[in-house]
Amino acid sequence: MDISVIEHASTLTVVNARPEFARAATWLGDFAADVGLPNDLSSRLLVALDEVLSNVVHHGLAGATEGEREIRLCVRLGPEMVELDVVDDGPAFDPTTVACATLAADRFVGGAGLLFVRALMDEVRFTRQGDRNCLTLCKRLAATA
């Protein structure tokens, strides 16, 4: 068996409420520390998670009763990449298709968040799975720049 392909993974389910942001950040920070990710990479993932969760809670699930909707998080460490899934049951929304020009013009009201996510990650993938949005943020382990 090739030990290098064994993955470390962790999952967390949070609800659409403000205190959950800190719980999610602690979970991801703990995972990063446990598997020995460099601080810079860990910080990039934490920024991206904060931005994506903000978008889901304040836009995707806007109008939903606080605390009643679940957002599932899953982080996996592979031999070359760390991947973070954010899965919500809000209306279909693919942030990877939003034009950058629109984001830049819109940054006062939150567009900067998506710009940050795209710049900090190596790949951002979206899939619609049934009635759920699944956004996967990928960061290569080697180069963090």
Q: Which residues bind other proteins (CB under 8 A)?
A: 18-19, 21-22, 25, 39-40, 43-44, 46-47, 50-51, 53-54, 104, 107-108, 110, 112-113, 115-116, 119-120
Query: Is-contact 56 114, C-beta < 8 A?
Result: no
Measuring CA to CA, how many Å separate 19 from each of 14, 65, 67, 137? 10, 15, 10, 22
C-alpha–C-alpha distance, residues 119 and 100, integer Å = 11
Nearer to other proteins (CB atom), residue 9 or residue 119: 119
Nearer to other proteins (CB atom), residue 11 or residue 39: 39
- Rounded to a whole number of angstroms, the minimum distance from the CB of residue 113 to other proteins is 4
- Rounded to a whole number of angstroms, the minimum distance from the CB of residue 1 to other proteins is 37
Nearer to other proteins (CB atom), residue 41 or residue 78: 41
Nearer to other proteins (CB atom), residue 90 or residue 111: 111
* Contacts of residue 74, Cβ cutoff 8 Å, sequence gap at least 6: 9, 10, 11, 12, 84, 85, 87
